Amino acid sequence: MTNNVTTTPENDNSNEVALLDDPTSSGSKGYWADAWYRLSRNRLAVVGLVLIIINMLLAIFAPVVAVEGIDDQNTEEANAAPAWVINLFPILKARDETFDASDGEILVETGQQVSEGDLLVDFSVDNLAASVGGTVFIDDRRFYLVPDTIEVARFDITDSTRLSVSNLDDVMAGDTLFGDTTAPYDGIVHVVGNEVILQPETVWRRSNGDVQVENLQTVEAGDVLLIMEDGDEIVAPFGGTIFVTRNNVELALIDPARVDVPEGAEIEIRDGREVLQGETLFDDVTAPITGDAFIAEDEIIIRQTEQWLQSDGGLSVSDGQIVAAGDQLVDVSNRNVFANMDGTVFVEGDDVVLTPSTVQRYELSDNSVIHVMDEQVVSIGEPLADDVTANVQGTVYVTDSELLVLPTSSGYTPLRNEYPLGADYLGRDMWSRIVYGARVSLLAAFIGPLVSILVGMPYGLISGYFGGAVDNWMMRFVDLMYAFPALLLIILLMAFFRSSAASTQPGTFIFQMGAIDRATGGVFFIFLGIGLTSWMRLARITRGQVLSARETEYVTAATALGQSTPQIMMRHILPNILGPIVISETLSIPTYIRYEAFLSFIGLGVNAPTPSWGNMISDGAAVLRNYPHEALFPALALFIIMFAFNFLGDGLRDALDPRLRGTD
Amino acid sequence: MGRFIARRILWMILVLFVVSLVTFFLMRAVPGGPFDRERDFPDSVKENIEARYGLDDPLLVQYARYIGQIILPTVTEPGPPRSTSEDYLFALDLPGGESTLRWMNFGPSLVVRSRSVTDMFRENLGVTVQLGVAAIIVALVIGLPAGILAALNRNTVWDYLGMGIATVGVSVTAITLGPLMQYVFGVELKLLPISGWGTLSHLIMPAFTLGFAQAAIIARLTRASLLQVLNEDYIRTARAKGLGSRRILWMHVLKNGMIPVVTVLGPITAFLVTGSFVTEQIFAVPGIGRAYVQSIGNRDYTLIMGTTLLFAFALVLANTIVDISYGWLDPRIRYD
């Protein structure tokens, strides 16, 4: 066995000289790669980074994410909040909801407690099912059911077929529909997709001719119904039952229901009137179906309805569709009303009122003395019944067993609406404004350090590198600026920039800056002000770092090699002192964000209507008593971004300079 | 030591002078004036008003007059000030009762006509100081124990809990915490008045809003500083001597560990100043911060100058006290 010493590229590094300013040469990992590794191991910093990235994505894609614009006012929805927000803040009591229950069946009674999701009004009683199988025809006002005992004429057509008729035309038997196809019977043309369907004619006006049939007579196809003035005969296209009304001769294609009437039965209905299913006809016999009832000699004939007026929506069939018996023709259960919150129900005629408020109740006994009338408005202290007085202002409802007081709904309670976080006092979507507000805060987070680095770093570099009297004077100036109250100076600088930009001639540099400021909604000058007042900290740190870096061997070596001052600064000193600068600026980001929010809060920041979390909180704080969500949502957004940057800053500091871990 | 203090005081005066100079000229460079908001006067009326307040003089003259009124003491007849233009902050009745020595006249407010800036200081400064002191107490009472607890129980649940809350603390700003507290304690629980000033209960929420972030800073700093001290050789020596752990904690750790905490007094004062603008706005506290914000909008020149100087004075005073006390607390630091 020979001691075979081979050096692999991995363990050969010990021979190389690690160059501090060249991360790739130091073998394993560079300074920044190493820092990134440590940062990615710090869970809190990663959380912070993720939050920041989410915020950045929201800010960048704000026009996509935000449904409404920043200034889309909808004053009808002012201060509105969705249900989950109302549930979140107890003060945001939902206001009473009133549902229209006309045409529906009210399933609740006054005083009943319901929970969210309970069915209050059932409209499905208006649902209509096909009594027999057949074909549905729909025109602009009505829809018809033609039973499948009738062979409805259907013709396939193609896109190139040239029709001689158009939709809803009346045709006579023998009229040409298209090509050499003719109508087999009198009817109305329905063109549906690539089919022509012929709805049989079943109604003829009496006035045009001489009626040849009697009411309730059963006819066969081909029987003469009418003889017109000009001698033409109208024959029944199909077999059916004839109903002669005041104006028309009608052919019912669906067989009517027939109920035999025994002799001596006392008929309780009137001829020609509608009866409802289950209604007593005579003795204990009830109507099997709903329809117009006709009394014949020994029977009652109930005509099945074959046509209905179209009401608003709910039609669940299409023109020409073939249905089976029992299929839904009209389904209005989508109009069913469900409780959208927990509360108490009051029925007022056709309206159902659902209130989330606490309702005063008093149980009536048989000998209770009631002092008020139903639906009387009472105020607090008014006597209700026996010795009970009203403890809320509201309307009294007296039921059989109880007396209830529905409190007057307070006028300022919010509506429910589709905005995810509700709307502000002008009815602007809070979510959209928060998303757009992220742009301002994130700009503060990036432009603040940028201006600060652009001014502070060269300042510190120069001061530290040259030292001596230059350093002394430059640092004295920093000390002086440091003593300035930063926010005061920002406010003054901003006011100064803004008004001077407004009063200069177009074309000048200042005017251009003013234009940028106006275009960014007043954001630009804030950041300029923030940057110009916060570079001192960075200048000091840079100077301190330069002072120690200047004494290192590699700088001495570079000087000995005859490199110029700018070269030494940029190529040797700067890369080595970047770490502390990055740490310092990252840790300052929350301060920049805070300054911007503060300025906007006190009304000296971004211009309306540009949203900033600061001015949103300010607007919301004005109505905090009634609508806390308007201040607390932007406040939460501000907290999250500050939190994220603080975590990232701490993590970055630990990663770049582990010696500082756990300090401040 | 004496020379150091004297130099610091001179430096303070220089800073205040520069602050006043910059503020004055920056403020006057901003177009618009205190009388622009009123309905349009004839130009002659406006000229008269400006002449009345000396606003028609050259800027340098105005500046010199303003500074002169503040720093030059004058001797006048005793009694209350004759007009808002002659309202001095300090008055000392000279022996004999014939005359009074007066000092520091900040001039009349240009917008609130019947009041002088000195009036506003007298009324509003006390409020801001009360709020500031209460906030510092909140910060110390929460921050110090939290930091000490975290340091002594390093890497335990106490440490993580304390530092977690501290990170929350530095992340909540006054405008986050203020409305939240108003909602929880004022609107829902109805424990404290939502806004206003006057009773002790009015003080609690603003003081907490202002002090919480600083409590977080103090807690972090205390922890870091104590951890450093705990690693020092003299602590090991004390342990080796057989001193009780309680004695080590009080005599050695805390005494030395508190030194860096003193340094945050400067930043805290800055924090209080900027925080007071918004906190007073949120809770409708009639303090200097609110007056300052209003004065900026109104272009109330004298009030802007007065409040800016006041805040700058508070800042440099705090920094100077920190500088001086630092050397006194830590004898290793030499003044030179």
Q: In this model, does residue A50 exceed pLDDT 90?
A: yes
- What whole-number distance in Å separates Cα of residue A188 and Cα of residue A166? 10
pLDDT tens digits for range A517-546: 777 777 788 888 888 888 888 898 888 888
- Which of B12, B17, B155, B173 to mutate to test binding with chain A, by most A CBs within 10 Å of its CB? B173
Instruction: Please indicate whether, in this complex, the C-beta atoms of A647 and B228 are within 8 angstroms of each other.
Output: no
In this prediction, residue A410 carries a pLDDT of 59
Whether residue B131 is contained in a domain is answered as yes
Whether residue B18 is contained in a domain is answered as no
Q: Where are the beta strands (DSSP E) in A360-400?
A: 360-363, 377-378, 383-385, 388-389, 394-398
- What whole-number distance in Å separates Cα of residue A527 and Cα of residue A520? 11
What value does the mean pLDDT take over residues A55-80? 82
Residue B186: give the domain boundaries: 117-329
Q: In this model, does residue A663 exceed pLDDT 80?
A: no
The rounded percent of chain A whose pLDDT value lies above 90 is 6
As a whole number, the mean pLDDT across chain B is 84
Instruction: Please indicate whether, in this complex, the C-beta atoms of A488 and B176 are within 8 angstroms of each other.
Output: no
**CB-based contact A456:A542 (threshold 8 Å):** yes
Query: Which residues from chain A sit within 8 angstroms of residue B173, using beta carbons?
Result: 594, 597-598, 638-639, 642
Give the ipTM of the model, two decimals please.
Answer: 0.87
Interface of A with B in 49-108 (CB under 8 A): 89-91
In this prediction, residue B205 carries a pLDDT of 93
- What whole-number distance in Å separates Cα of residue B80 and Cα of residue B328? 43
Min Cα–Cα distance to chain A from B73, Å: 26
Beta bridge partners of residue A536, listed in sequence order = none
In this prediction, residue B37 carries a pLDDT of 61
Instruction: Please indicate whether, in this complex, the C-beta atoms of B168 and A663 are within 8 angstroms of each other.
Output: no
User: Between residues A67 and A432, which one has the greater pLDDT?
Assistant: A432
Query: Which residues from chain A sit within 8 angstroms of residue B308, using beta carbons?
Result: 485, 488
pLDDT tens digits for range A610-656: 889 999 999 998 888 888 888 999 999 999 999 999 988 888 888 87
Whether residue B300 is contained in a domain is answered as yes
Q: Phi, psi at residue B55, to the nearest 5°?
A: -80, -5
pLDDT tens digits for range A311-350: 766 778 888 888 888 888 887 777 788 887 778 888 888 8
In this prediction, residue A269 carries a pLDDT of 82
Query: Which residues from chain A sit within 8 angstroms of residue B15, using beta carbons?
Result: 480, 483
**CB-based contact A537:A453 (threshold 8 Å):** no
Question: Chain B: residue nearest A641 by CA?
Answer: B171
Least confident of A515-519, B120-124, B132-136: A515-519
Instruction: Please indicate whether, in this complex, the C-beta atoms of B31 and A598 are within 8 angstroms of each other.
Output: no
In this prediction, residue A28 carries a pLDDT of 55
Q: In this model, does residue A252 exceed pLDDT 90?
A: no
> Which one of B29, B312, B316 has the shortest CB-CB distance to A500?
B29
Tokens read off for A584:
């310092």
The rounded percent of chain A whose pLDDT value lies above 70 is 92
Residue in B175, B139, B191 with CA at minimum distance from that of residue B279: B175
Query: Which residues from chain A sit within 8 angstroms of residue B316, using beta carbons?
Result: 483
Min Cα–Cα distance to chain A from B15, Å: 6
**CB-based contact A196:A247 (threshold 8 Å):** no
- Amino acid A461 reads L
In this prediction, residue A417 carries a pLDDT of 58
Handedness of CA B124, B126, B131, B135 (dihedral sign): positive
Is residue B294 classed exposed, middle or buried when 0-12, 13-18 and 19+ CB atoms within 10 A define those classes?
Answer: middle
- Which of B10, B159, B171 to mutate to test binding with chain A, by most A CBs within 10 Å of its CB? B171
H-helix or E-strand spanning residue A251: strand A248-252
Instruction: Please indicate whether, in this complex, the C-beta atoms of B179 and A624 are within 8 angstroms of each other.
Output: yes
Min Cα–Cα distance to chain B from A33, Å: 26
- Amino acid A460 reads G
In this prediction, residue A367 carries a pLDDT of 81
Instruction: Please indicate whether, in this complex, the C-beta atoms of A492 and B27 are within 8 angstroms of each other.
Output: yes
In this prediction, residue A17 carries a pLDDT of 46
- Which of A93, A602, A643 to mutate to test binding with chain B, by most B CBs within 10 Å of its CB? A602
Domain count, chain B: 1
Instruction: Please indicate whether, in this complex, the C-beta atoms of A663 and B273 are within 8 angstroms of each other.
Output: no
Query: Which residues from chain A sit within 8 angstroms of residue B217, using beta carbons?
Result: 664
Strand order of the β-sheet with B100-105 is: B74-76, B100-105, B88-93
> Which one of A479, A486, A495 has the shortest CB-CB distance to B296?
A495
CB proximity A620 to B under 8 Å: yes
H-helix or E-strand spanning residue B134: helix B126-152
Neighbouring residues of A321: CB distance < 8 A, sequence distance ≥ 6: A135, A136
pLDDT tens digits for range A181-194: 888 888 888 888 88
Whether residue B9 is contained in a domain is answered as no
What value does the mean pLDDT take over residues A425-444? 88
Q: Phi, psi at residue A271, to the nearest 5°?
A: -60, 135
Whether residue B130 is contained in a domain is answered as yes
In this prediction, residue B39 carries a pLDDT of 62
Write down how long chain B is.
336
Min Cα–Cα distance to chain B from A654, Å: 13
CB proximity A638 to B under 8 Å: yes
What value does the mean pLDDT take over residues A354-382? 83
What angle do the packed helices A613-622 and A629-656 form, to 10 degrees?
A: 150
Query: Which residues from chain A sit within 8 angstroms of residue B297, using beta carbons?
Result: 603-604
Neighbouring residues of B149: CB distance < 8 A, sequence distance ≥ 6: B158, B162
pTM of the predicted model over 0.80: no
- What whole-number distance in Å separates Cα of residue A125 and Cα of residue A129? 11
> Which one of A495, A631, A643 has the shortest CB-CB distance to B30?
A495
Instruction: Please indicate whether, in this complex, the C-beta atoms of B171 and A643 are within 8 angstroms of each other.
Output: yes
Q: In this model, does residue A238 exceed pLDDT 90?
A: no
What value does the mean pLDDT take over residues A425-453? 88
In this prediction, residue B125 carries a pLDDT of 87
Interface of A with B in 266-295 (CB under 8 A): none
Residue B40 — very low, low, confident or very high, per pLDDT cuts 50/70/90? low
What value does the mean pLDDT take over residues A584-593? 88
Instruction: Please indicate whether, in this complex, the C-beta atoms of B278 and A620 are within 8 angstroms of each other.
Output: no
- Amino acid A51 reads L
Handedness of CA A595, A600, A603, A606 (dihedral sign): positive
Instruction: Please indicate whether, in this complex, the C-beta atoms of A624 and B278 are within 8 angstroms of each other.
Output: no
Beta bridge partners of residue A200, listed in sequence order = A187
Query: Which residues from chain B sit within 8 angstroms of residue A602, using beta carbons?
Result: 277-278, 281, 293
Residue in A506, A488, A518, A512 with CA at minimum distance from that of residue A599: A488
- What whole-number distance in Å separates Cα of residue A419 and Cα of residue A633? 13
Q: In this model, does residue A19 exceed pLDDT 50?
A: no
Whether residue B71 is contained in a domain is answered as no
Query: Which residues from chain B sit within 8 angstroms of residue A89, using beta carbons?
Result: 183
CATH number, residue B125: 1.10.3720.10
In this prediction, residue B333 carries a pLDDT of 63
Query: Which residues from chain B sit within 8 angstroms of residue A590, using beta carbons?
Result: 170-171
What value does the mean pLDDT take over residues B256-266? 77
Question: Chain B: residue nearest A615 by CA?
Answer: B175
In this prediction, residue A18 carries a pLDDT of 44
Residue A9 — very low, low, confident or very high, per pLDDT cuts 50/70/90? very low
Instruction: Please indicate whether, in this complex, the C-beta atoms of A480 and B180 are within 8 angstroms of each other.
Output: no
Instruction: Please indicate whether, in this complex, the C-beta atoms of A638 and B175 are within 8 angstroms of each other.
Output: yes
CB proximity A594 to B under 8 Å: yes
Question: Chain A: residue nearest B12 by CA?
Answer: A483
Question: Chain B: residue nearest A625 by CA?
Answer: B187
**CB-based contact A130:A324 (threshold 8 Å):** yes
DSSP B36-73: SSSS---HHHHHHHHHHTTTTS-HHHHHHHHHHHHHS-
Whether residue B318 is contained in a domain is answered as yes
Interface of A with B in 545-584 (CB under 8 A): none
Residue A72 — very low, low, confident or very high, per pLDDT cuts 50/70/90? confident
Query: Which residues from chain B sit within 8 angstroms of residue A483, using beta carbons?
Result: 15, 19, 312, 315-316, 319
In this prediction, residue B181 carries a pLDDT of 92
What value does the mean pLDDT take over residues B121-149? 89
pLDDT tens digits for range B70-116: 888 888 887 777 777 778 888 888 887 778 888 888 888 888 778 88
Tokens 């600083």, residue located: B214
Whether residue B208 is contained in a domain is answered as yes
